[in-house]
Structure 1
Amino acid sequence: MYADYDAAPDLLKERVILVTGAGEGIGRAIALSFAAHGATVVLLGKTVAKLESVYDEIEAAGGPTPAIYPIHLEGATPHDYDELAASLQQAFGRLDGIVHNAAILPYLARIKDYEIEDWLKVMQVNLNAPFEITQICMPLLQASKDASVIFTTDAVGHDGKAFWGAYGVSKFGIEGLTQILAAELENSTVRVNCIDPGATRTALRKRAFPAEDNSVLKTPDALAPLYLWAIGPDSKGTTGKRLSWDA
């Protein structure tokens, strides 16, 4: 379905969209795609060099000048998020979309063997950070005439499987957050959905399945039509849904 979506060249013209984990993988691919369709993209991530590389790619392709916002979500504090919102307010005055893509997966392990420190780190990046960014940016989203928030989920956040530990639990939390927030914003101009990108050729996937031949997997670029549809105006009226590439 989504692979056949044909986005208008100016689908996201004059829209401001924040993408977390924008330096590589799916985040990089969708940031480039959003910019190619007219969006001013705020590139958020922890590695400045990677963000600068994406920035340069967008400029070289003739897209709107993006913005870079380096932040290490693992150690970010409420004050850091306050500063993020203040910077976005000063620079743009609104947000037309957020894609929460950043995530970590340190290892697969039984619950009884999971290191507490690692559990807390995963929850901080995968669940707490998306909540805090969305909450602090809510006034910016509500300043938009048509805003879309996209959380990233996973099959193991919908159907619990052994050994997926904190990562799986964090994705269950993301799906709950999506449904609750969508219900609370049902009568607003902000829609909220989550996307399960399915098996994709990323570093996180390789960490989970080191023996897998990832050359047979789809590349992050293949996901662009799904994210374009979900972030753009054609998905208006769709909220609280779990969108899947494989659906």
Structure 2
Amino acid sequence: MHQYTAPTAALQHKVILITGAGDGIGKEAALTYARYGATVILLGKTTNKLAAVYDEIMAAGGAEPAIVPLDLKGATAKHYHDLAATIQTEFGRLDGILYNAGKLGVLSPFTHIDLDTWQEVMQVNVTSAMLLTQALIPLLSKADNASIIFTSSGVGRKGRALWGPYAVSKFATEGLMQIIADEYDNSGIRVNCINPGATRTNMRARAYPGEDPQTLKSPAQLMWLYLYLMSDDSKGVTGQSLDAQPK
């Protein structure tokens, strides 16, 4: 796929929820979506980071965002249904979700994986997305062209030694995306995955502490694909796992 150039008002009047919106790719997506006309709902566990993104959007003249401080590690189905009710009251619909929040866990040999780490990674990377999507499907169904974007990884397509829980969670994410996409095929909801690839983020730095981050692409350089899948120009594209850095 050639890199997409979005029209100036590509996301005008859209309401988009972004998880992990306080940092890295999530922050860049929030700023980008707002710049292209969307009202963004910023979900994350660190309130001051979300507030900083809020301030940047307001300073740039974007629509006023909503802030949702929520730690996915401890969130329950009730939290997600309460959030859905709030979005219904405030906006009446939801046009898109970007599942960007993720937990790396600990890179270790398979026999060293501990259950707490395994469950925590699965909770944040998979279970939270399943529960939140269930809660938000009725709102997405009210939009003309709704888009759900999951975040995948190269290790979610081919397993790699030492990446245990994280890799398995990304395999599960790919499967979750495919199931929802197939169930909602021919509806107004499309569902896809993005594999961002090696990107200059804090998570990447934790996984590869000896790597020079300046050799990696910045989140801003990947936004063409995030814009494409969230805009109506991707209508009809569903069930796909796409690379933000195609080889």
Does the TM-score normalized on the shorter chain lie above 0.5?
yes
Alignment of 1:15-94 (within 5 A): 15-94=14-93
**What does residue 196 of structure 1 align with?**
195
Shift of 1:246: 2.6
C-alpha distance in structure 2 between counterparts of 1:78 and 1:181, whole Å:
18
Say what the alpha-carbon RMSD is for the aligned residues: 0.8
Tell me by how many angstroms 1:245 deviates: 1.6
Which residue number in structure 1 is paired with residue 182 of structure 2? 183
Task: State the Cα deviation string for residues 139-168 of structure 1 (Å, max 9, x = none).
Answer: 000000100000000000000111101100
SS at match of 2:73: helix
Name the SS of the counterpart of 2:94 in structure 1. Answer: coil
**Deviation for aligned residue 1:110:** 1.5
Who is 1:99 aligned against? 98
CA distance in 1 between counterparts of 2:76 and 2:183 reads 25
Match of 2:167 in 1: 168
Mark the runs of 5 or more structure 2 residues left unpaired by the alignment. Answer: none
**1:79, distance to aligned residue in structure 2 (A):** 1.1
Measured in 2, the distance between the counterparts of 1:81 and 1:148 equals 18
- Asked whether the equivalents of residues 103 and 126 of structure 1 are also in contact (C-alpha less than 8 Å), the reply is yes
Partners of 1:242 and 1:5 in 2: how far apart?
16
| Corresponding residue number in structure 1 for 2:135 | 136
Q: Which residue does 1:234 correspond to in 2?
A: 233
Contact (CA 8 Å) 2:222, 2:245: kept in 1 or not? Answer: no
Could you tell me the percent identity over the aligned residues? 52
SS of the equivalent of 1:134 reads: helix
Counterpart code for 1:18: L
Q: Is the 8 A contact 2:190 2:235 kept in 1?
A: yes
Residue pair 2:149, 2:192 contacting (<8 A) in 1 also: yes
Q: Secondary structure at the match of 1:137?
A: helix
Provide, for residues 47-87 of structure 1, a one-character-per-residue CA deviation record: whole Å limited to 9, x for no partner: 00000000000000001111001100000011111111111
Provide the secondary structure at the position in 1 that maps to 2:98.
Answer: strand
In 1, the alpha carbon distance for the partners of 2:37 and 2:245 equals 27
- AA aligned to 1:239 is T
Q: Which amino acid aligns with 1:156?
A: V
The match for 2:13 is: 14
| Superposition deviation, residue 115 in structure 1 | 1.4
Q: 1: distance between equivalents of 2:5 and 2:245? A: 18
- State the shift of 1:111 in Å: 1.9
Structure 1 segments of 4+ aligned residues over 3 angstroms from their partners: none
Output the amino acid matched with 1:72: D
Equivalent pair of 1:14/1:39 in contact (CA under 8 Å) = yes
Aligned pairs, number = 246
Deviation string for 1:102-138 (max 9, x for gaps)?
0011220112101111110000000001111111000
- Name the aligned partner's letter for residue 46 of structure 1: K
For 1:133, the aligned partner's letter is L
Q: Contact 1:107–1:207 (CA<8 Å) still a contact in 2? A: no
Aligned equivalents of 1:200 and 1:240: distance in 2?
Answer: 24
Partner of 2:12: helix, strand, or coil? coil
Aligned to 1:215: 214
SS at match of 1:239: coil
